[in-house]
Structure 1
Amino acid sequence: MAGIAAASLVLTGCSSSEDTTTGEAADVAGAQAVADQYEAAPTDLVLTTPLSKAPDEGKYVISIETPQPISSAKNDAIQQAADVLGWRYQRVLMGTDAEAAPKAMDQAIALNPDAIHISGTPLTMLTKQIASAEAAGIPVVADSIAGEPVPGVISTALDGDAQVQEWGKMVASQVVADSNGEANVAIFSITDYSILNVFTDAFTEQLASQCPDCKVQLVNQQVTDLGTKTPQSVVSTLQRDPTINYAVFSFGDLVLGVDAALRGASLQDQVTFAGQTPTPDNLQSLKDGDNSVWVGFPVQILGWRVLDTLARQFNGDDLAEADAAFMPTQLLNKDNIETAVLDEDTGYYVGVADYQDQFKTLWKK
């Protein structure tokens, strides 16, 4: 996800599993058909509805920036989009303590912007602040958050429930197809973040639908475990069950340090990696011949979509068609990674090379 907020999280290593044997045959052909739909690179933004007019210049937008590299990359893209629109853009950096999100939101409201953008932070953590922003006439747009908007939040569609469910189904279908219906999956995620649960639930449901006898277990992590305890958690999980052949990650940063830990335990050949929101390192591993599969997450396009939503809001345009438009994506593997469109500066997946020009057309710029 594009932003994972600091919060008090549950204990690492708790797991649940679904491994009931039914004797039903896996629908490998059906899974492959689903995966094949997403093999080719996208060519457009998916969003095709133009603004009713070029938006007014001079708007002032603030993002609450969470402490992950992908959040910074997305907000760099928002800055580029703001420059095109002639808007002022600022970031309020969020800390890692339990009250970091409310404090950052309070700081942003005090600056009296025209809009505030949040990412990853559950809306329930910001109930008071969202109400304060609404009272001040400051609309809030959210990405990477589960659930419907609450009063004061104009949209949660970007990287929201519908999009993330689609990604979960895509990855599950590829796993069923690649394993020939013999997958035993360990999913590593952070269950306190409801948007990540949307992915893991969709993955699990699709896996059960296409491969009733495939196995899956969820191994929970804490955000502070990234690169520290998570690698050993993966190792321990595989050692407990040597038949696990897929490690699925709900976002790419969870893989930090895992490769080295698996090599140290001589487990590097036991599993294939899969997941959503790949980091540049995840994608480079694909280029190096790694046999993993990731859903392309166009972080720069997400940034531009944030301002697109706000531009429509400021214009008084209906948000429904934009909210319904998914972001462009594809399933990335070693066979198509060389032709995938990646950002030259950051290494993140882009998907659509001329996305900026396509946005400018929609914005009448």
Structure 2
Amino acid sequence: MRTPTFALAGTALITTLALLTGCGGQEDQASAAIPAEAKQKAQALITPLTGKPGAFPITEPLKNRVPAGTRIAYVDNGNALVSLIYKLMQPAAAKLGVDLYAVRAGTSASGVQSAFSTVVQQRPAAVINTAIDPALWNNQRKELVAAGIPVISLGTVAGADSGLVQPNGEAAFERQGRLQAAFLVATNDKAVDAVLYVHNELAYGTAVRRGFEEGLKELCPDCSARVVQIPIAEVGNKAPERIVSDLRANTGTDAIAFQSSAVATGLPARLKVAGLEKIQIVGANPLPTNLQYLKDKQATVELGADLNTLAWTAIDTAARLITKQQPQQNVLDGEALVQQFLRPEDITFDPSRGFSAYPDVAERFAALWG
């Protein structure tokens, strides 16, 4: 049954990456009912995040104040979302009394390496990176770790031996995929033929894909999923055309899921022209534009990520590492990301200001920092 959100640009062709097979062909899958038990399991996964956000991520007080004059470097590659995170961090840095400064990097590998080399030379008290793949600055990562400079990396999936602290790492992204799959199972009566649009240039896409594929297969073996690559360079321009073309070529598709809803910019109008506006859309990490689409009922649901709280969490994590205090376990495990399923009726706030699960985030951290 049908019902009516960071990295370097690259170039790639749309490729079908995976296919979860169920019993029989597409027509058999479309007619297969989702068992009530499966729907109940899926509903149990999404209910805690429906109509309310996940728990506030940080609860332990900061034991020692950060020394005056502490400098924290932020590498900004000019991507809109990366720059937004830097902006969101500034009030947190001011509240903590640290000097947060940006080191500009271009979108090329050489630009990224040059920026991180500059950071190595500057020897700040800590470094914060957002979504720039550590593989692109591996040598500089090793130098920073060897120098004992803490590196907090948001939106990356480096291994445990990387020396990076990743508050929203692989576990959070795999969970995103599982939650999106669970939503489809919980809200449909018959097996779904879904497509997940990903960006190979964003390292965390592999974790989202794994969570989505495995989650859908476990909950609904008769459901199926294609995983299709959309080049990150086409977000905001050619992506809607690629998506509509893919949907026309795969007419049995019931639902769309996004690794990042930024790819949907301009998509609702294209879907309407193509007569596909009733297809189910399960987004994630929405930008203000996506939230406006949702408010206008041009999408089904968005798995919102509270970037403001994440920005404060990154500064808090830096403070703890600088003062030799162990970060909380959820931060070390990469699970300190606040999420919430947002429905059209949940957009009672100004979409242009983005999603904020905890508007009192400053007061909460101020209390923890003393």
TM-score, scaled relative to structure 2: 0.89
Contact 1:231 1:255 in 2 (8 A): yes
Equivalents in 1 of 2:33, 2:300: separation in Å? 27
Q: Which amino acid aligns with 2:182?
A: S
Q: Distance in 2 between matches of 1:151 and 1:65?
A: 21
User: Is the CA contact 2:174–2:208 (under 8 Å) kept in the aligned structure 1?
Assistant: yes
Name the structure 2 match of 1:301. Answer: 309
Equivalent in 257, 279, 293 of residue 285 of structure 1: 293
Q: Does 1:167 align with 2:173?
A: no
The Cα shift of 1:173 comes to: 0.9
| 1:334 equivalent in structure 2 | 344
Deviation readout 1:294-341 (Å, 9 max, x if unpaired): 111111111111111111111111124343453222111123333xxx
How many Å separate the matches in 2 of 1:18 and 1:49?
42
Q: Which AA in structure 1 matches 2:18?
A: S
In the alignment, residue 224 of structure 1 is paired with which amino acid?
Answer: A
8 Å contact from structure 1 (residues 101, 125) kept in 2: yes
Listed as ranges, the matches of 1:125-204 within 5 Å are 125-153=136-164, 155-156=165-166, 158-204=167-213
Mapping 1:1-365, distance limit 5 Å: 3-6=6-9, 8-21=10-23, 25-26=34-35, 27-42=38-53, 45-153=56-164, 155-156=165-166, 158-269=167-278, 271-321=279-329, 322-324=331-333, 326-338=336-348, 346-364=352-370
The letter for the 2-side match of 1:105 is: F
Contact 2:292 2:351 in 1 (8 A): no
Deviation at residue 226 of structure 1 after TM alignment: 1.0
Task: Give 5+ residue unaligned stretches, structure 2.
Answer: 25-31
Secondary structure (helix, strand or coil) at the match of 1:335 reads: helix
Report if aligned partners of 2:131, 2:155 keep a CA contact under 8 Å in 1: yes
Opposite residue 366 of structure 2, the aligned amino acid is K
Note closer, same or farther for the CA distance 1:299–1:179 as it changes in structure 2 (3 Å cut): same
Asked if structure 2 preserves the Cα contact closer than 8 Å seen for 1:253 and 1:279, the reply is: yes
CA distance in 2 between partners of 1:91 and 1:307 (Å): 14
CA shift in 2, pair 1:230/1:15, >3 Å: farther
Quick check: 1:122–1:194 contact (8 Å CA) kept in 2? yes
* Cα separation, 2, equivalents of 1:236 and 1:9: 18
Q: Quick one: structure 1 residues 273 and 62, their matched pair in 2 at CA, closer, same or farther if it must change by over 3 Å?
A: same
C-alpha displacement at 1:174, in angstroms? Answer: 0.9
Structure 2 CA distance for partners of 1:122 and 1:43, relative to 1, 3 Å: closer
CA distance in 2 between counterparts of 1:336 and 1:209 reads 29
Task: Pick which of 322-331 and 303-312 moved more.
Answer: 322-331
Distance 2:204 2:59 in 1: 26
How big is each residue's C-alpha offset from its partner over 1:76-135, in whole Å with a ceiling of 9 and x where there is no partner? 111111101111111123222233321221232233322211121222221111122234
Whether the 8 Å CA contact 1:189–1:220 is kept in 2: the answer is yes
Q: How big is each residue's C-alpha offset from its partner over 1:212-235, in whole Å with a ceiling of 9 and x where there is no partner?
A: 111100111211111233212111
Q: CA deviation at 1:356?
A: 1.0
Uncovered stretches (5+) of structure 1, i.e. residues with no partner: none
Residues 273 and 292 in structure 1, CA contact (< 8 A), matched pair in contact too: yes
The one-letter code of the counterpart of 2:23 is T
Assess if the C-alpha contact under 8 Å between 2:295 and 2:345 holds in 1: no
Q: CA deviation at 1:10?
A: 3.6
User: CA–CA distance in 1 between the matches of 2:147 and 2:338?
Assistant: 35
- Asked whether the 8 Å contact 2:55–2:338 carries over to 1, the reply is yes
SS at the partner of 2:194?
strand
Q: Distance in 2 between matches of 1:134 and 1:165?
A: 26
Q: What is the TM-score when the length of structure 1 is the normalising length?
A: 0.90
Q: What letter matches 2:316 in structure 1?
A: D
> In the alignment, is the contact (CA less than 8 A) between 1:251 and 1:278 conserved in 2?
yes
